[in-house]
Amino acid sequence: MSDCVFCAIANKEIPSTIVYEDDEVLAFEDLNPQLPVHTLIIPKAHYRNIGDDVPPALLGTLFATVKKVAELKGVIESGYRVIVNTGEDGRQTVHHLHIHVLGGARMPIRMGPAD
């Protein structure tokens, strides 16, 4: 998609701090981190959200990458949170499927306003 920021990152048209990459997925640092570790994992192919007929094998690859990222970021033992926002009510702000991996500090009970 020509107007998708995550597609541009996957295509290396926009620079990012890459944590992990393979043929299908890219993991990079969030530009507005909510915790010391805040890495996003995206499929290189464009899917709007987790309900967008994503092939099961690709979903498996995305979620297998969570463990790799947690290991690379040093939070595998201390713990981390995995979030997939979907749609407007789910507060998805970039409409390209992505997984947040957050850690590096104790999780707050509440991460932001619920309006």
Signed CA dihedral, 105, 7, 46, 69: sign only: negative
Backbone angles phi, psi at 88, to 5 degrees: -65, -50
Report the alpha-carbon distance of residue 52 to residue 54 in Å, rounded: 5
Catalytic annotation on 46?
no
Active-site residue identified among 38, 95, 96, 98: 98
27 in Cβ contact with 40 (< 8 Å)? yes
Helix ranges restricted to H, 11-101: 56-72
Active site residues: 98
